[in-house]
Copies of this chain bind each other. A is one copy, B any other.
Amino acid sequence: MADTRTPDSTRRSERSRRAIYDAALALVVEAGYPKTTIEGIAARAGVGKQTIYRWWPSKAAVLLEAFVDLGEQAAEAVGEVGAAIPDTGDLAADLRLVVRATVDELVDPKYDLPTRALAAEGIVDAELCAQYVEKLLRPSLQLYADRLAASRERGELRADLDLDIAVELFTGPLSGRWLMRTGPLTHAYADRLVDYALHGLAPR
Contacts and interface: CB of A to CB of B under 8 A. Distances in A.
Nearest to A155: B203
A93 to B, nearest CB: 15
Interface string A168-180: 1101111111011
Interface in A164-200: 164-166, 168-169, 171-177, 179-183, 189, 192-193, 196-200
Main secondary structure of the interface of A (DSSP, over half): helix
A204 interface: yes
Interface stretch (A69-77, A82-90, A102-110, A123-131): A123-131
A116 interface: yes
A67 interface: no
A97 interface: no
Interface in A14-68: 32-34
A124 B120 CA distance: 7
A198 B169 CA distance: 11
A32 B123 CA distance: 12
Contacts of A116: 123-124
A133 interface: yes
Given A33-B124, A181-B130, A198 B197 contact: no
Contacts of A121: 120
A182 B169 CA distance: 13
A65 to B, nearest CB: 18
Interface hub of A129, A168, A177, A192 (most chain B Cβ within 10 A)? A168
A176 B175 contact: yes
A99 interface: no
3 tightest Cβ-Cβ pairs between the two chains A and B: A200-B200, A172-B173, A172-B172
16 contacts: A33-B124, A120-B120, A133-B180, A133-B181, A155-B203, A157-B201, A157-B203, A164-B182, A165-B192, A165-B193, A168-B182, A168-B193, A169-B197, A172-B172, A172-B173, A200-B201
